[in-house]
Amino acid sequence: MSAAGEAVALVRAGRSLSEALAGLAPATGQRAAVQDLAYGALRNLGLLDALLAELLHKPVKPALHALLLCALYQLRARPHAGHTTVDQSVRAVSRLEPAAKGLANAVLRNYLRDTDALVARCNSEAAQYSYPQWWIARVRAAWPQQWESVLNAGNLHPPMTLRVNRRRLTPEQYLARLAERGISGERVGEQAILLERPLPIETLPGFSAGEVSVQDAGAQLAAPLLDVQQGMRVLDACAAPGGKTGHILELADCNLTALDSDPARLPRINDNLKRLGLGARVLCADCSSVALWSDGTLYERILVDAPCTASGVVKRHPDIKWLRRESDIDRMAATQAGMLDALWQLLAPGGKLLYATCSVFPQENAQAIASFLARNSAASRLPLAGLDSGQLLPDARHDGFFYALLEKH
């Protein structure tokens, strides 16, 4: 409970949840429980915040506030273990802030005593959907028919999906290998297998030998859409950790350059390619500063898997809901426009550029592409089979993505 509270407090102070958890190093055996608590609290933070506001009569320090949020989450997740949770939480509070022990005890017991009435009073949209109000308003404006399902999908537990390396075996062969180990899965795409239950990668047959990778089914659409043929010059401009790089190379023997501007993420491209037994030229560079890294080579295919608000992947990263600011949307859209303009110069005539984000905000997606097309008469947008608008909205089976395939005349 203490470590989860610390992680939530760090997220509220602006750190990402993965960084926060990595820095805490809870005792062996506790890691999974700490993660469950911290992820669960952040998924449900809108409601938990509102409940705590009802229960507290004066402000408390951020660390105590975060700990009480985790305690409330645990009480909601395990209603039958209420008294044990209260005892554990009060012990954690007494280590953090001994003088607040009585307050914590009263808050949590009041919650147990009055749960239904308290929850009924938390009727704001931010509490009901557990997103910031501005986010709810943006999603509703963008997707008037689907906004609730988009928001609710972001609060689900993420599924685990595998990409079968078609150079090694077929999805049916891999499903049979899973079945031999008593693992159930279902084919949900060309190379995609959705596991019935998430599993540690060490338990997956052939993982270290590169037979499969972990990749969301929506993300697995990118490489086939790019339509790479044998021997082509291909640029993967925002490549780390290399999920889509590996997929492109599994599909075709091509001459691939993978860039990423983050030196900390770059080694993961090499690790992934090594595990898959594939090769690419991997460079640390800002793809928009073309003059600094390009030798003038034109590429027949370019993938721009652009940095974005990541609003389509909140079920994997619930901290994103609370770390983003509304102004990030315009800021990201400006970065994305600069990237598209810079990389377009490197596309060979007749070549194709696939623009991708994991966002559900049109400013980063359809609007970004409409503006790009308006300022580039040599570009046209190609239709994508089965994905008319280019927007894949998130649901229980996959994350949210946007794809636009552009061709240069």
Ligand X SMILES: C[S@@+](CC[C@H](N)C(=O)[O-])C[C@H]1O[C@@H](n2cnc3c(N)ncnc32)[C@H](O)[C@@H]1O
* Footprint on this chain of ligand X (rule: CB under 6 A): 237-244, 259-262, 265, 286-288, 305, 307
What secondary structure letter does DSSP report for 351?
E
Q: Give how far Cα 128 sits from Cα of 44, 83, 116, 337, Å.
A: 9, 26, 14, 35
Q: 70, 122, 308, 358: which one is catalytic?
A: 358
In terms of Cα–Cα distance, which of 22, 33, 37 is closest to 68? 37
Compare residues 260 and 399 and give the one whose CB is closer to ligand X. 260
Compare residues 86 and 226 and give the one whose CB is closer to ligand X. 226
Residue 374 burial (10 A CB sphere; 0-12, 13-18, 19+)? exposed
CB of 95 to ligand X, least distance (A): 38
Compare residues 60 and 239 and give the one whose CB is closer to ligand X. 239
Residue 183 burial (10 A CB sphere; 0-12, 13-18, 19+)? middle
Measured in Å, how far apart are the chain's first and last C-alpha atoms? 59
DSSP H helices in 181-227: 222-226
Compare residues 64 and 239 and give the one whose CB is closer to ligand X. 239
Q: Which residues contact 184 (CB under 8 A, 6 or more apart)?
A: 178, 195, 196, 197
CB of 163 to ligand X, least distance (A): 11
In the chain, the amino acid numbered 305 is D
CB of 51 to ligand X, least distance (A): 34
Q: Give how far Cα 145 sits from Cα of 46, 127, 150, 345, 360, Å.
A: 23, 21, 10, 38, 14
Active site residue 284: no
Compare residues 286 and 407 and give the one whose CB is closer to ligand X. 286
Compare residues 106 and 334 and give the one whose CB is closer to ligand X. 334
DSSP H helices in 277-386: 290-293, 320-323, 327-344, 366-375
Q: CB 378: neighbour CB atoms within 10 A?
A: 11
CB of 265 to ligand X, least distance (A): 5
CB of 328 to ligand X, least distance (A): 14
CB of 297 to ligand X, least distance (A): 17
Q: What amino acid positions are annotated as catalytic residues?
A: 358
